[in-house]
Amino acid sequence: MYSYIVRRLAFGALAVIGVSVVVFVVLRVLPGDPLVAIFGPEGYTKLSDAERARYMADLGLSDPLAVQYLHWVYDIARGNLGHSFFRAESVADMIARRGPLTAEIAFTSVVLSWLVGIPVAVISALRPNSWGDNVARFLSILFLAVPGFWVGMLIVLALLFMFGYRAPLASVSLFDDPWANLQIVIGPAIVLGLGQAAYIARMARSSLMEVIREDYIRTARAKGLNRRVVVSLHALPNALLPVVTLSGVLLGFVLAGSIPVERAFGTPGLGYAMAIAVSERDVFVMQNLVFLYAIVFVVLNIVVDLVSAWLDPRIRLA
């Protein structure tokens, strides 16, 4: 197990380095000019050459690329994540203030996806091709096709029309006012959770259908254990292994999905901040936030691999 952990962590470290290079190449080296991004195409043409050179030097953009890259990595290592062009708040403060809300949304949505997805999968798998199974399968196909942010917009509209209700727009911490906090979190969490539940139900259904055909399940039934015990204690734990892996991967996609969904709900989380940064073409904020999201994604994948290795000796010893 220890050698597996060490190997996995080493690959993870390599991935973080690779990811930082990809982020740097995408946001700094690709042909788009950051000054055009900052000033807009019209503002850019109004600048004189001297002004352009001065801005480039101020922003550290006239150094060689390798120097710029090392400078950026050094800044991150010191915890200096820079400032937005358009707002006074530093990126580090922004993450500290808005990050917890997005993390809360992501976590709640995963819990919801399990609460909805697993029971649906069990019902589907135990009675394949029954009407319950068909409805569940159609719904999961439907939820894979619906863009989450659109569902979010519809929910906001429906609540406004029917109850004149709108979730609070100011950020509230879970500990200060749990009720207001819940009202902010629950909408995006439901939308993102249902999207994941669709994947989870599909995966758990096919995995459970495979497991209940195994010999040890038949043996358990044959020795007289009742069906409920066999399914919940013998079949489910094995069937859920691939679901754990999937859930970790989906959590990464939730972080991405929360960007348009938080925009739709007007949630004051990190995803909304990213939506603003991208629409304002705030290159430096984007660079650090994209890197942060990628690191979270890499770490999640490592955690998932370690958890599934811990649960399944076949992976650990291979």
Site for other proteins, residues 159 to 178, rule: CB under 8 A: 160-161
Number of chain residues interacting with other proteins (CB under 8 A): 52
Q: Measured from the CB atom, is 205 or 234 closer to other proteins?
A: 205
The residues that bridge with 90 in the sheet, in sequence order, are 83
Q: Measured from the CB atom, is 181 or 293 closer to other proteins?
A: 293
The residues that bridge with 214 in the sheet, in sequence order, are none
Q: 3-class DSSP state for residue 157?
A: helix
CB of 25 to other proteins, least distance (A): 9
- In angstroms, rounded to a whole number, what is the distance separating the alpha carbons of residues 166 and 180? 11
Q: Are 193 and 110 in contact (CB under 8 A)?
A: yes
Piece in contact with other proteins (CB under 8 A), picked from 69-77, 89-97, 115-123, 275-283: 275-283
146 binds other proteins (CB under 8 A): yes
Q: Which of 172, 294, 304, 309 binds other proteins (CB under 8 A)?
A: 294
Q: Measured from the CB atom, is 72 or 149 closer to other proteins?
A: 149
200 binds other proteins (CB under 8 A): no
CB of 206 to other proteins, least distance (A): 4
- What tokens appear for 201 in the block? 């139900």
Q: Three-class SS string for 15-69?
A: HHHHHHHHHHHHHHHCCCCHHHHHHHHHHHHHCCHHHHHHHHHHCCCCCCHHHHH
Q: Measured from the CB atom, is 4 or 44 closer to other proteins?
A: 44
Q: Are 205 and 125 in contact (CB under 8 A)?
A: yes
Site for other proteins, residues 35 to 54, rule: CB under 8 A: 36-37
Piece in contact with other proteins (CB under 8 A), picked from 78-86, 103-111, 146-154, 186-194: 146-154
The residues that bridge with 83 in the sheet, in sequence order, are 90
Q: Measured from the CB atom, is 27 or 243 closer to other proteins?
A: 27
The DSSP symbol for 90 reads B
Q: Are 149 and 259 in contact (CB under 8 A)?
A: no
Q: Measured from the CB atom, is 131 or 179 closer to other proteins?
A: 131
Q: Is 138 left (phi over 0), alpha (psi -120 to 50) or beta?
A: alpha
- What tokens appear for 210 in the block? 């495979």
Q: Which residues bind other proteins (CB under 8 A)?
A: 14-15, 18-19, 21-23, 26-27, 30-32, 36-37, 141-142, 144-147, 149-150, 153-154, 157, 160-161, 202, 205-206, 252-253, 255-257, 259-260, 263-264, 274-275, 278-279, 281, 283, 286, 290, 293-294, 297-298, 301
